[in-house]
Structure 1
Amino acid sequence: MKKIKQLIMLMSIVVIASSCSSIKVVDSWKADEIESLAGAKILVIARSDDMVGRQRFEQEIAERLRAGGVDAMESYKKFPAMKQNQELTEEQIAQRVQIIKNEGYKGVVLTVLKDMSKEIVTSETGGYVSGGYYPSYYGGYYGGFGGYYGRVYSPYGYGYGGTYVPSETRTYTSETYNLETVIYNLDLEPGKQLLGVIAIDITDPKSASKVAPKYADAVAKQLKK
């Protein structure tokens, strides 16, 4: 019985921990001129020092774009030696943009980490009775309200053979990452190149491999609207 209690409590904690991870679109905007990128070659960039994370985000976003008929390419494949997450001078920026344009890329889909915040979260599990619900007792045991009301007492039992799971409080640090995916048309004037912005909050990500597909889905969904 003790092992059953421990298992139930462990499962409750796992469910809460896994449910905390979430992806939410907090803002989205598209210019009417976004159609100007139709048929154009698009370079997908994720600015990160973490090569694994960068590759996964670029892959997932590029795959969603290609699935929609867009000629998209990951920057780590096209420009493997180009570090994307570094401070550049105006001259270096101009040179890099020209390199991208010289390779035939008219559009850029760029994802960056804008901010990260932390908060202390307290959750409570347990405080309920588990188990003890057997089909053969549904009719006779539950009976009418009076019979049930007269013999079932909280918190000691909610059914035949019920086990009370004690309450347990868990405190942990929750982290929220604010990412932005922006779309540019490099052929337009600098002040008119921005064609779209999608801001997404990711709460308690487990890993890039698990978060990137969901993030890419959210981006693709906003672009289709």
Structure 2
Amino acid sequence: MKTYSRACLLPLLILLLSSCVSSKLTASWVDPEFKRSQVQSILVLGVSEEDLLRRTFEDEMVAQLQQYGLKVAPSYRSISGKDIPEKAEMEQWIGGQDVDGIIVSRLVGTRQETVVQPGYTTRLGGYTGPYWGGGPHPWVDPYGGWYGYYSGSYDVLHYPPEVSYYEVYIIETTLYLVATDQPVWSARAEISSDKDTNRAIEDLVTDLIDNMADKGVI
């Protein structure tokens, strides 16, 4: 058995992030010679150490693909999420299944984004502008003398800028044709979310399925 490295894990466990989009497809490709009739049954392989997240992803993919009349199965029922079977073992197992295509989804990159909310200054009521900024006529003192001007300084509230960071995960999902062992469709998506994990997974899968439909893959 081989063990997954964390570099290839599907990062569905880190989707609870703030101030960012949930899912965005950035690129896709389809083999121009591929024909829809070549794939009638699909196995879904989500790469993740987290069994719950992997199962959620695979089940969502299965549910949405079945709406297109395909026979689809999740891999978690037969393949461990922590150990990779040897190639010969996998090929033997696949050969015994009624599978035309295999969808593999994995992490291929990350980057950090920065969100800056600008600071601002405000006052707790009273006069808000100097003479030269639209206030009363210069010979009318809005502060009532030097002490009012001095003590009013403490009514000014300053809120500094707020800086936050979040990670963007780049996911590549590819459909392989079992008969040729070659890719026939692939797409990349960037994911990060302020939503709950299940909703983020649903959004990601919906984007992928919509693209497959637009490309004539399903």
Aligned amino acid, residue 164 of structure 2: Y
* RMSD after superposition: 2.9
1:210, CA displacement in angstroms? 2.3
What residue in structure 2 maps to residue 183 of structure 1? 175
Larger proportion of helix: 1
User: Closer, same or farther in 2 for the Cα pair 1:128/1:94, shift >3 Å?
Assistant: farther
Scaled by the length of structure 2, what TM-score is found? 0.66
1:85, CA displacement in angstroms? 5.2
Aligned amino acid, residue 68 of structure 2: G
1:99, CA displacement in angstroms? 0.4
| Count, aligned residues | 169
| Residue number among 175, 191, 210 corresponding to 2:199 in the alignment | 210
What residue in structure 1 maps to residue 144 of structure 2? none
Helix, strand or coil: the match of 1:213? Answer: helix
| Residue number among 99, 104, 107 corresponding to 1:113 in the alignment | 107
Aligned amino acid, residue 203 of structure 1: S
Work out which of the two has the higher radius of gyration on C-alpha atoms and give 1 or 2: 2
1:64, CA displacement in angstroms? 1.1
Whether the aligned pair in 1 keeps the contact of 2:50 and 2:81 (CA below 8 Å) is no
Distance of 1:205 and 1:165 partners within structure 2: 30
Distance of 1:166 and 1:42 partners within structure 2: 58
Distance of 2:51 and 2:110 partners within structure 1: 19
User: Closer, same or farther in 2 for the Cα pair 1:105/1:27, shift >3 Å?
Assistant: same
What residue in structure 2 maps to residue 59 of structure 1? 59
1:169, CA displacement in angstroms? 2.1
Could you list the per-position Cα deviations for residues 121-174 of structure 1 after superposition, in whole angstroms to 9, with x for gaps in the alignment?
Answer: 322376689xxxxxxxxxxxxxxxxxxx999xxxxxxxxxxxx99645221221
Distance of 1:185 and 1:35 partners within structure 2: 11
What residue in structure 1 maps to residue 40 of structure 2? 40
Greater relative contact order (Cα < 8 A, sep 6+)? 2
1:83 to 2:80 alignment: yes
Distance of 1:166 and 1:22 partners within structure 2: 33
Aligned amino acid, residue 175 of structure 1: E
Scaled by the length of structure 1, what TM-score is found? 0.65
Structure 2: runs of 5 or more not aligned: 1-16, 124-133, 137-155
User: Closer, same or farther in 2 for the Cα pair 1:122/1:65, shift >3 Å?
Assistant: same
Could you list the per-position Cα deviations for residues 171-203 of structure 1 after superposition, in whole angstroms to 9, with x for gaps in the alignment?
Answer: 122100010110001111x4xx11011100113
1:94 to 2:88 alignment: yes
User: Closer, same or farther in 2 for the Cα pair 1:127/1:211, shift >3 Å?
Assistant: farther
User: Closer, same or farther in 2 for the Cα pair 1:19/1:201, shift >3 Å?
Assistant: same
Q: Percent identical across equivalent pairs?
A: 21
Structure 1: runs of 5 or more not aligned: 1-16, 130-148, 152-163
